[in-house]
Amino acid sequence: QVQLEESGPGMVKPSETLTLTCTVSGASVSNSYYWGWFRQTPGKALEWLGSVYYTETTYYNPSLQGRVSILLDTSKNQFSLRLSSVAAADTAVYYCASHLVLTGIDLWGQGTLVTVSS
Amino acid sequence: EIVMTQSPATLSVSPGERVTLFCRASQNINTNLAWYQQKPGQAPRLLIYGASTRATDIPVRFSGSGSGTEFTLTIDSLQSEDIAVYFCHQFNNWPPEYTFGQGTKLDIK
């Protein structure tokens, strides 16, 4: 059974960089899947942040204006999210997930709340 | 950017009812649409992809239809465990467009 689990700090200060890690169990990040990050603010819709393909090709949401980067670590079977210059508007529940191009997002982590506050 | 609009925002329902949720895309997305169910404190769960294909282990009472810009999710004979928020999601122009609707919340009448 494939499982994804997010880890990282629950609080980040404004202007700092948010870093989260997703650990994959039951499958290899070298499988031909996309490994992505999403977030959800209270009462608001889901937002895609970016994804990395098993080839390490990355795709990012243009609305984040270059603040986001995603890395694949095949040695640890993990992938990570870095979001720079955070502000209060980046407070959200962050999810890691796996997906293909045309079949939706079929596996999600449980989510982790990150609060941006001084 | 493709905007996804769901209606209604909230729907009061009773067990046993047939429930229909709507999702409209601001431009043609063919059948590149998925539906998700999200319960409080949980991650979304994929129900439907390709507008009408049920994901693995999804009960047959969930069905999706539509193409182009108009889509529906129907729940036949609603069960109490179906009380949740439902999101639609388009991936017609991915990458980089991967956008979600605002959700429809079902609550008990």
In this predicted structure, which of A28-32, A71-75, B20-24 has the lowest mean pLDDT? A28-32
CB contact set of A27 (below 8 Å; sequence gap of 6+): A2, A33, A98
Between B96 and A27, residue with greater pLDDT: A27
pLDDT band at residue A42 under the 50/70/90 scheme: confident
pLDDT of B56 reads: 94
pLDDT band at residue B21 under the 50/70/90 scheme: very high
Between A44 and A118, residue with greater pLDDT: A118
Average pLDDT estimate for A40-49: 87
Q: Which residue has the tokens 């979001």?
A: A83
- The mean predicted confidence, pLDDT, of chain B is 96
- pLDDT of A43 over the 80 cut: no
- The residue type found at A85 is S
* Residue B4: exposure state from Cβ atoms within 10 A (0-12, 13-18, ≥19): buried
pLDDT band at residue A25 under the 50/70/90 scheme: very high
Contact A100, A34 (CB under 8 A): yes
**Residues of chain B with a CB closer than 8 angstroms to some CB in chain A:** 32, 34, 36, 42-46, 48-50, 55-56, 87, 89, 91, 94-96, 98-103
What count of residues does chain B have?
Answer: 109
Q: Is the dihedral of CA B61, A40, B12, B108 positive or negative?
A: positive
In chain A, the percentage of residues whose pLDDT exceeds 90 is 89
Question: Does B99 sit within 8 Å of A101, measured CB to CB?
Answer: no
In chain A, the percentage of residues whose pLDDT exceeds 70 is 98
User: Residues of A with CB below 8 A from B55's CB?
Assistant: 104, 106
pLDDT of B15 reads: 95
pLDDT of B105 reads: 96
Average pLDDT estimate for A31-36: 92
- pLDDT of B95 over the 90 cut: no
pLDDT band at residue B76 under the 50/70/90 scheme: very high
